[in-house]
Amino acid sequence: MAQKHVTKSKPAKSKSAKSVSANSKSAKAVTSKLRKSKGAAAAQSPSGKKKPTTRKFPASTVGRSSKKVHAKKVKVVKDNAKKATPKSGGTVKRVMAHKNVPSLVGHSVTNLRLEATGGREVSLADYLGQLVVLYFYPKDNTPGCTMESQDFSRLSREFSAAGAVVLGCSRDSVKSHESFKAKYNLGFDLLSDPSESFCRSFHVIQMKSLYGRQFEGVERSTFVVSREGVVLKEWRQVKVAGHAEEVLNYIRTST
């Protein structure tokens, strides 16, 4: 009996298997290309790293840009320092809270005598029977103090018509006051209090801070003193703009 020869057929590969095979070959080809490119780059540089390219500039321009930047930075620092100095009043801050300063309204004023412009010695007792507008300011010839003094001087006739005398006071010397008064043609006298005794009697010497440094200075303040020598009104931490007008309005309407 003859035996039949049976040939076994190989099972057909699935489409997914073919796809995986093709992807594998593609990945091998890409890997091979990357290896070749890395080898070429390594051959160009002895250390195996690509050398960074450097851009050359003319010798005359080297460092010019950095100098400009440095100059701008220096200018900004100087401008900020000017704004923050006590002279301009920029960023000087008061340390003590305003609520800790006792009110002087209703209290009699001191009778201390001070040197004043015009070669005189002045006491508030000399002005009994008149209203007195007494303003304290930090320093002669500084922007805020100059503006405030000019505002009071501009309205000096109106204050006089309302029956009030204007006096300014700071820790500056009489010599400084005389120069300040003449320079801006101020229409009233300035009191000199280098010992701070008069200023302290009105609690206007306060702790301030600048660049983290604490120091004592005059807080810009104004007081209206009655004809009997009693404080009627006080303004502390004064903002210069419109302040003289506000004081005049108070004199006209409340005294």
H or E stretch at 216? strand 213-218
- Catalytic residue selected from 116, 145, 231, 240: 145
Compute the distance between CA of residue 235 and CA of residue 152 in angstroms, rounded to an integer: 15
Q: Which residue has the tokens 């001070």?
A: 114
User: What is residue 84's predicted lDDT score, i.e. its pLDDT?
Assistant: 44
Task: Specify the pLDDT at position 182.
Answer: 98
pLDDT for residue 126: 97
**Can you tell me the distance from the alpha carbon of 219 to that of 238, in angstroms, rounded to the nearest whole number?**
8
Distance from CA of residue 127 to its chain's centroid?
40
Beta bridge partners of 235: 222
Q: What is the CATH number of domain 93-254?
A: 3.40.30.10
- Check if 145 is active-site: yes
Dihedral, CA of residue 211, residue 213, residue 214 and residue 218, to nearest 10: -50
> Nearest 5 degrees, angle CA 201-CA 202-CA 207?
95
Q: Which residue has the tokens 């303040």?
A: 221
Domain map (residue ranges) of the chain: 19-48, 93-254
Ranges of residues in the chain whose predicted pLDDT is under 70: 1-99
